[in-house]
Structure 1
Amino acid sequence: MKAIKTLILAAAVAAAGAAMAGDRLDAIQKSGVIRVGTPADYRPFAMDEAGVIKGHDVDVIQAMAAYAGWKVEFLKTPWKDIEAGIKGNRFDVAVGGITQTLARTSWGEFLPGYAPFGKVALVRKSDLPKYRTLEDLNQPSVRVIKNPGGTNEQFVLKNLTKAQVSTHDKNFEIPGLIAEGKGDVMITETAEAILYAKKNPKLGAAFINKPLTPVSEMGFLMPTDDADYARVMNYLWHLTQIRGDLSRAEAAWLK
């Protein structure tokens, strides 16, 4: 019975797409492949582990694709190139811990938000007592390491103007640099800070109970060129909600 229901659902999605497909949806239906851009460097949302991309967002987008009968093609894309990738039709959706922002909605469209968070600081556990306020971070003696191209970089450049700021291209390597004493602070989001603090006993997450920013959410980011495609993607997202895929991904990666 479950197999029959799955076939009926796939046929319904395909029929709906055929009846009202825009160019993007039509291309996906014909190829049977949805192209997914991701930096793949942001635990626990999407991380390249020895050539296999894993994480919360990976599980969810694969579930969405399975409901539509599509395969997923992951395209590793640096944070700084996400906007160009969306605008340049290099992929159909971007995932991997992408913060919903007003600026991004000017050129892209988000699926419903998830994983509410605030900006926090990943530091050495021994230094936790030193960092109680934003001004404690914004000192000439504090070495901040940032990853280029995302909202964490924007926060650092706006708020930590007095600190020593350096850039490291590989986001997943920065926690190790902090632990080794090669930097003092990594600005990130709640989920990533908690994860790395649990994995490495030398690290601690500052401002967890009172983040440095108001609450925001993550979102899957799509182009705005095909309203039919957007409707189908929202429907597929809804299916992951009501059928438990989102809850399972959250339990596996965000708890």
Structure 2
Amino acid sequence: MRQILALLALTFLLLAPAARAESPVLAGIAHSGEVRVGLTGDYKPFSWEEPEGHFEGMDADMAAALARDLGVRLTITRTSWPTLMDDLATGKFDIGMGGISITEARQEKALFSMPLLSDGKAPVARCADAERFRTLDGIDREGVRVIVNPGGTNEQFARANIHRATLILHKDNATVFDEIAAGRADVMMTDAIETRIVAKEYPSLCATSPDAPFTRAEKAYLLPQDAAWKARVDDWLARMEANGERARIFAKWVE
């Protein structure tokens, strides 16, 4: 059955020259027989890489579902938050997944799919310090060490709101919470969905206010400026929503 569906999807691509002519991305996918999905591999529950070359998470599953829907093979391309937009611009991947927030700066250079969820920045700290860091006023004080991964909205938010505390840039997002647990940093502000995951994985760390984040932003898939490709992705997402598959995938990774 899966082979039949894949053949039908590929036939759709091959028999739609008008759509391919309007969409360089769809034309490239039809020609190569693959869809290239960019993932950072360092942001639970969306995607993480462990061991090297093996990606897991909700958007790793969604990427596989997209490839099945297109009837092509999946190639996951490693990207990073500092290089995300440059990698898109140079055609390193066809679609960026993995918990990407919609921002005005990104919208100037790219398109986004329909939104997948709404989230916002919230603190995670050692449980013993949780009460101290429930507010921005409590965080932005002299002597507080705020750690952040560079290149994305976490760094943008921290730089816009941290003026008195010490800001520590930690380049490896996969180990940034180890620094807090070890006492080398005090608090990080990231998306609330991640703070909940961190609190489950680190007994000494707590999500201080995940239900009342400091900001609100929508997350979606990052796309090149190709309207026909966006329409194809949005159509797939609408069908995933209607048949409950998106909800099942998300529920697998977020309790």
TM-score, L = length of structure 2: 0.93
Q: Which residue of structure 1 lines up, in the alignment, with residue 48 of structure 2? A: 47
Aligned counterparts of 1:5 and 1:138: Cα–Cα separation in 2: 54
Match 1:168 to one of 170, 175, 186: 170
RMSD over equivalenced CA pairs, Å: 1.7
**Residue 30 of structure 1: how far off its partner (Å):** 0.8
After superposing the two structures, state which structure 1 stretch, 38-47 or 233-242, moved more.
233-242
Aligned counterparts of 2:40 and 2:19: Cα–Cα separation in 1: 32
Shift in CA distance, 231/15, structure 1 to aligned 2, threshold 3 Å: farther
Aligned counterparts of 1:64 and 1:192: Cα–Cα separation in 2: 24
After superposing the two structures, state which structure 1 stretch, 107-116 or 195-204, moved more.
107-116
Aligned counterparts of 2:187 and 2:123: Cα–Cα separation in 1: 6
Matches within 5 A, 1:116-135: 116-135=118-137
Q: Which residue of structure 2 lines up, in the alignment, with residue 20 of structure 1? A: 19
**Residue 254 of structure 1: how far off its partner (Å):** 2.0
Q: Which residue of structure 2 lines up, in the alignment, with residue 35 of structure 1? A: 36
Deviations 1:180-237 (A, max 9, x none): 1110011100111000101111000112221111x2221110000x322222222222
Aligned counterparts of 2:173 and 2:222: Cα–Cα separation in 1: 20
**Residue 118 of structure 1: how far off its partner (Å):** 1.3
Whichever residue aligns with residue 59 of structure 2, its letter is: D
Aligned counterparts of 1:72 and 1:232: Cα–Cα separation in 2: 16
Q: Which residue of structure 1 lines up, in the alignment, with residue 66 of structure 2? A: 64
Query: CA contact under 8 A between 2:6 and 2:72: conserved in structure 1?
Result: no
Query: CA contact under 8 A between 2:35 and 2:94: conserved in structure 1?
Result: yes
Q: Which residue of structure 2 lines up, in the alignment, with residue 93 of structure 1? A: 95
Q: Which residue of structure 2 lines up, in the alignment, with residue 240 of structure 1? A: 240
**Residue 132 of structure 1: how far off its partner (Å):** 3.0
In structure 1, list runs of 5 or more residues that go unmatched. Answer: none
Query: CA contact under 8 A between 1:145 and 1:185: conserved in structure 2?
Result: yes
Whichever residue aligns with residue 50 of structure 2, its letter is: E
**Residue 26 of structure 1: how far off its partner (Å):** 0.7
Shift in CA distance, 97/2, structure 1 to aligned 2, threshold 3 Å: closer
Deviations 1:120-150 (A, max 9, x none): 0110011111123211000111101110100
**Residue 48 of structure 1: how far off its partner (Å):** 0.3
Aligned counterparts of 2:219 and 2:43: Cα–Cα separation in 1: 12
**Residue 152 of structure 1: how far off its partner (Å):** 0.5
Aligned counterparts of 1:9 and 1:37: Cα–Cα separation in 2: 22
Q: Which residue of structure 2 lines up, in the alignment, with residue 73 of structure 1? A: 75
In structure 2, list runs of 5 or more residues that go unmatched. Answer: none
